[in-house]
Structure 1
Amino acid sequence: MGFGSYDESEQENQEYDTDFDDDDGLDTEGDAHQGDVEFEFTASNDELLDRLKDIKEEEKQNT
């Protein structure tokens, strides 16, 4: 058999371990957040837009 060739009988005889235990995964609900988050912005929309413009200009200069 050359490189890249395969024996079709090998494809038919493959065994797969599909017995998954529930304990093997991550507990994604264990760290779930139960509460509120509040943000207080002290800058006006115009100030935030000006700052965004400054950031974009800095990025252009650095590239």
Structure 2
Amino acid sequence: LDGGQIAFLAAEGIARRPLPKSFKQVVNTGGMLLLLTLLVVITIKDIWAVGGALTGVR
């Protein structure tokens, strides 16, 4: 989420005023949820792939 911080700084520089703290919190929380969801989905796919390889099922 460091890229998000750079985007926040750029937006604040363009607007010449700080972004609301609540907006930053919502965006950071959404980004973290997206990353965690991606982690879970990829982990489940990997487990299914290993299980299929062990049982011979594709």
TM bucket (normalised to shorter chain) is 0.3 to 0.5
Larger Rg: 1
> Which protein is richer in helix relative to its size?
2
